[in-house]
Amino acid sequence: MVHAPDEVRRWFASVVLVEREVWVAVIDARIVAMMVLRDSWVDQLYVLPEHQRRGIGGALLEHAKTRRRALRLYAFDSNHPARDFYEKHGFVPIAFGDGTGNQEGAPDVLYEWKGVIR
């Protein structure tokens, strides 16, 4: 399912920025990455393609780990670079879905990270 850009902007402004914890990475006054946390979920983690593989996404995840005792997130089963990235950062696959639980209808993987109790 594809959402119109205006619909996404409205949802982001009225829901994400109001109800969730949003972190960004900025380089030269430009947002190059963002992470959205909702309770113990990493709802979104995006790094602009030209800034990937520079440690920015990892730094955002490490920041999230300082704020939560456990984290969960979904990745598409076919997105091997993302899956490798999350596993490199200590996330473990705990469930595999057939795509009926997401809008794209694509098989996905539920990941979990459990930190040290502080």
| CATH number of the domain where residue 90 is located | 3.40.630.30
pLDDT, tens digit, for every residue of 52-62? 999 999 999 99
Q: Say which residue, 116 or 36, is predicted with more confidence.
A: 36
Radius of gyration, CA atoms only, the chain:
15
Range of the structural domain that residue 104 is part of: 5-114
Following DSSP, what letter does each residue of 33-99 receive, concatenated? Answer: EEEEEETTEEEEEEE-GGGTTSSHHHHHHHHHHHH-SEEEEEEETT-HHHHHHHHHTT-EEEEEE-S
Overall average pLDDT of the 40-61 stretch: 96
Task: Give me the number of domains the chain comprises.
Answer: 1
Overall average pLDDT of the 21-35 stretch: 97
Collapsed DSSP state (helix, strand, coil) of residue 22: strand
Collapsed DSSP state (helix, strand, coil) of residue 112: strand
